[in-house]
Structure 1
Amino acid sequence: MTDTPTLPPLPDRLSIDPRSPFHIAAAFEHEVGIKFNDKERTDVEEYCISEGWIRVPAGKTLDRKGQAMLIKIKGKVEAFYR
């Protein structure tokens, strides 16, 4: 018998920003992929599956603290481990 590691389920809402209350470090132990409207996206900063949105950087625009400005896009969101 081979032991395959069981991965924890991905949360409904997840952010890559460690300052966010929705940042869960354990979820990033494995690479996470996001499908938005049936296309894989690699630039997602935050997502919410139940509300159906993702936040992505708005070009090269930065806020006054030097963080990327984010825009919210609504659609069908799927999260998975690669």
Structure 2
Amino acid sequence: MNDTPLRPPLPDRLSIDPRSPHYDAAIFEHDVGIKLNDRERFDVDEYCISEGWIKVPAGKALDRKGNPLMTKVKGKVEAFYR
């Protein structure tokens, strides 16, 4: 018997920000991993597999609302469940 819960399929684009239209709470009930150029990243805020980019915080810089400034890093993106 398989006792693992069914996991929803990972979308092409996903964000951890609840205000984003690309946020999906059901996916974050499971542990999601992101690889960029075959190297796992732990600081990803948003990704897009088809366009080949991830967004990560740009150091300690903040915008005027107190959110971290994001920078886009391009490469081969893979999303997976851990």
Question: How big is the shift at 1:7?
Answer: 1.3
What is the Cα-based RMSD across aligned positions, in Å? 0.9
Question: How big is the shift at 1:67?
Answer: 0.1
C-alpha distance in 1, partners of 2:79/2:32?
A: 7
C-alpha distance in 2, partners of 1:33/1:2?
A: 22
- Counterparts in 2 of 1:3 and 1:75: CA distance versus 1, 3 Å: same
**Counterparts of residues 4-43 of structure 1 (less than 5 Å):** 4-43=4-43
Q: Which residue of 2 aligns with 1:68?
A: 68
Note the residue ranges of structure 1 that are not aligned, 5 or more in a row: none
Task: Give the number of aligned pairs.
Answer: 82
Question: How big is the shift at 1:2?
Answer: 3.5
C-alpha distance in 1, partners of 2:20/2:71?
A: 16
TM-score, normalised via structure 1 length: 0.95
For 1:31, the aligned partner's letter is D
Q: Which residue of 2 aligns with 1:46?
A: 46
C-alpha distance in 2, partners of 1:2/1:13?
A: 29
TM-score, normalised via structure 2 length: 0.95
> Which 4+ runs in 1 deviate beyond 4 A?
none
Identity of aligned residues (%): 76
Q: Which residue of 2 aligns with 1:57?
A: 57
Question: How big is the shift at 1:6?
Answer: 2.4
Q: Tell me whether 2-11 or 55-64 shows the greater mean CA deviation.
A: 2-11
For 2:44, the aligned partner's letter is V
C-alpha distance in 2, partners of 1:4/1:72?
A: 34
